[in-house]
């Protein structure tokens, strides 16, 4: 069996790899999937034997449908883990095994360290109640019940007392922005609002893990975008672990802390949006991500470089002008001992100060181009980059200079990293896009 190809070694952390099959999973792992297969059909065991030897889904067709083949990954606590793939790639089958709705044909699923295969029906129900809830694409609301009772429904099934479940449901409805709609019926709500009730229902259950299968796919684009923002916001506030299924690449890139790309039942790559964009595991993934708006996914931190010249604010004009001359630049970044960025100093100012016999460059410092934060999307750096001949400085939350983004780096980042090896993929537009953007460069 081959492990899914994952991230480059330098960025791989323990949680990228499935935890050891013998020891308990590390406490930062919420869901662990190990060597999981799901084969529908008459001869699943024989099918798995052949799949283990590298056979494809098509090869074993006569034995059964291999919906999920050799899946292994860990979902960390508090992350949004997106499973992305075309229709039929096995996403829904995979997610249904995460809450025990379906049993793997072979392999193991652990939720909070508990192996689902080792639980009886009663334990499984308890685990679902406490640990995992599911949001479906079609909202599955009960038409004759109010919004409040719909949100409280899973708690009602669990036998939670009326006052308590209504209180929890009310809080969950507030969280999704539906405060005031408690007494309405689902038919009085828009599609987006109904999906919010579905989300509130999952939140009211207050489980650690939320499973969302194409939860936003039926919504129109603007509402969908709103729901994505709301989900990100909720996730930040509540710290839930979310497994989110989508076939929409932009949604995956926008929401996912990490993304698993599935193809024909197999996970072909797991990584951050940036890793998948800049280091696709194979031609299939490269082709899949070719159309992504890279400037919205890639951030300053992924392209920034070391600044050519940095001078101390307490230093003298001689030191500053020498540094600029050696690096052949006409301005330098000025920082203090903590590396907090104070601004820039220009070569002519430094030379004038040197002639005038000044001791320090302190009063020569200009603001220069406004710094951006490491997580600023490249799309938002084009404007400042166009205004300045200096690279755009990148500072952390404490104002420290952590890198700079030269304009040329910005333009280079637009070109997909992995030029595909086959002639199938047309990247003809990428260099043009760069050339036309370059018009703005000085
Ligand atoms: N109960 C079942 N019995 C037989 N085959 C099934 C069953 N459920 C799913 N399959 C098959 O397993 C494969 C994976 O299906 P799955 O629904 O997991 O894909 P998906 O990625 O969720 O697709 P979609 O994007 O269309 O929802 C498909 O070939 C499907 O036909
Ligand atoms: Mg599906």
**pLDDT for residue 441 is more than 50:** no
Pairwise CA distance, residues 393 & 442, whole Å: 17
Mutate which of 67, 83, 267 for ligand 1? The one with the most ligand atoms within 8 Å of its CB, which is 67
Nearest CA to ligand 1 atom 12: 67
Q: DSSP assignment, residue 373?
A: -
Fold type of domain 9-131+207-292:
Rossmann fold (3.40.50)
Region 274-297 average pLDDT: 85
**pLDDT for residue 423 is more than 80:** no
Residue 158 CA to ligand 2 center (angstroms) comes to 27
Residues with CB under 5 A from ligand 2 (ion): 92
Cα angle 394, 399, 404; round to 5: 15
**pLDDT for residue 427 is more than 70:** no
Closest C-alpha to 21, from 110, 111, 106: 110
Q: What is the pLDDT of residue 26?
A: 60
Rounded to whole angstroms, what are the CA distances from 1 to 39, 71, 124, 341? 16, 10, 29, 51
- Better-predicted residue by pLDDT, 8 or 217: 217
Nearest CA to ligand 1 atom 30: 88
> Residue 306: pLDDT band by 50, 70, 90 thresholds?
confident
Residue 248 CA to ligand 2 center (angstroms) comes to 12
Residue 213 CA to ligand 2 center (angstroms) comes to 7
The phi and psi torsions of 153 (rounded to 5 degrees) equal -55, -50
**pLDDT for residue 112 is more than 80:** yes
Which residues does ligand 1 sit against, CB inside 6 Å? 40, 65, 67, 85, 87-93, 247
Summarised one tens digit per residue, pLDDT across range 170-220 is 999 998 899 999 999 999 998 888 888 988 988 898 889 999 999 888 777
- Better-predicted residue by pLDDT, 171 or 249: 171
Residue 67 CA to ligand 2 center (angstroms) comes to 11
Q: What is the pLDDT of residue 416?
A: 62
Mutate which of 36, 37, 38, 65 for ligand 1? The one with the most ligand atoms within 8 Å of its CB, which is 65
Where in the chain are the domains?
A: 9-131+207-292, 301-412
Nearest CA to ligand 1 atom 10: 67
Pairwise CA distance, residues 298 & 318, whole Å: 39
- Give residue for tokens 């070109």: 415
**pLDDT for residue 418 is more than 70:** no
Q: What is the pLDDT of residue 135?
A: 82
- Is the CB of residue 424 less than 8 Å from the CB of residue 284? no
Q: What is the pLDDT of residue 190?
A: 87
Nearest CA to ligand 1 atom 13: 67
Q: Are strands 258-263 and 266-271 parallel, antiparallel or unpaired?
A: antiparallel
Residue 347 CA to ligand 2 center (angstroms) comes to 61
Q: What is the pLDDT of residue 277?
A: 86
Residue 83, SS3? strand
Residue 313 CA to ligand 2 center (angstroms) comes to 58
Per DSSP, what are the bridge partners of residue 212? 135, 244
Residue 261 CA to ligand 2 center (angstroms) comes to 14
Domain 301-412 class in CATH: alpha beta
pTM: 0.72
Nearest CA to ligand 1 atom 4: 40
Region 301-307 average pLDDT: 84
**pLDDT for residue 396 is more than 50:** yes
Pairwise CA distance, residues 22 & 115, whole Å: 12
Q: DSSP assignment, residue 170?
A: H
Nearest CA to ligand 1 atom 28: 88
């Amino acid at each position: 069996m081959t492990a899914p190809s994952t991230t480059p070694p330098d960025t791989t952390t323990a949680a990228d790899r499935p935890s050891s099959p013998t020891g308990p999973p590390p406490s930062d792992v919420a869901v662990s999937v190990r060597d999981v297969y799901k084969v529908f059909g008459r001869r699943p065991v024989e099918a798995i034997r052949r799949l283990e030897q590298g056979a494809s889904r098509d090869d074993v067709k006569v034995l059964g449908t291999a919906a999920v083949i050799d899946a292994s990954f860990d979902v960390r606590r508090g992350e949004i883990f997106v499973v992305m793939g075309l229709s039929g790639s096995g996403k829904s089958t995979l997610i249904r095994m995460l809450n025990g709705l379906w049993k793997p044909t072979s392999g193991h699923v652990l939720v909070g360290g508990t192996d689902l295969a080792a639980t009886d029906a009663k334990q499984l129900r308890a685990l679902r109640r406490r640990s995992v809830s599911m949001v479906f694409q079609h909202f599955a609301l009960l038409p004759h019940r109010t919004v409040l009772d719909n949100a409280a429904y899973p708690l009602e099934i669990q036998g939670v007392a009326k006052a308590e479940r209504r209180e929890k449901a009310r809080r969950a409805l507030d969280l999704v922005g539906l405060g005031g709609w408690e007494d309405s019926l689902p038919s009085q709500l828009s599609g987006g609002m109904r999906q919010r009730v579905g989300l509130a229902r999952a939140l009211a259950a207050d489980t650690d893990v939320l499973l969302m299968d194409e939860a936003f796919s039926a919504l129109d684009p603007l509402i969908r975008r709103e729901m994505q923002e709301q989900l990100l916001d909720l996730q930040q506030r509540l710290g839930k672990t979310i497994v989110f299924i989508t076939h929409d690449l932009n949604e995956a890139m926008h929401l996912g802390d990490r993304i698993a790309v599935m193809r024909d039942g197999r996970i072909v790559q797991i990584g951050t949006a940036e890793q998948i964009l800049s280091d696709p595991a194979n031609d299939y993934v490269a082709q899949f991500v070719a159309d992504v708006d890279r400037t919205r996914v890639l951030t300053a931190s992924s392209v920034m470089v070391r600044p050519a010249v940095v001078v101390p604010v307490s230093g003298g004009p001689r030191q500053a002008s020498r540094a600029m001359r050696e690096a052949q630049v006409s301005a330098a970044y000025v920082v203090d001992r903590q590396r907090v960025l104070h601004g820039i100093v220009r070569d002519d100012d430094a030379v004038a100060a040197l002639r005038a016999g000044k001791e320090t460059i302190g009063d020569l410092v200009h603001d220069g181009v406004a710094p951006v934060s490491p997580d600023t999307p490249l799309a938002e750096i084009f404007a400042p980059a166009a205004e300045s001949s200096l690279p755009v400085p990148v500072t952390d939350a404490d104002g420290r200079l952590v890198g700079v983004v030269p304009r040329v780096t910005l333009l280079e980042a637009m070109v997909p990293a992995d030029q595909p090896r086959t002639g199938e993929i047309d990247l003809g537009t990428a260099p043009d896009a760069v050339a036309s953007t370059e018009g703005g460069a000085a």
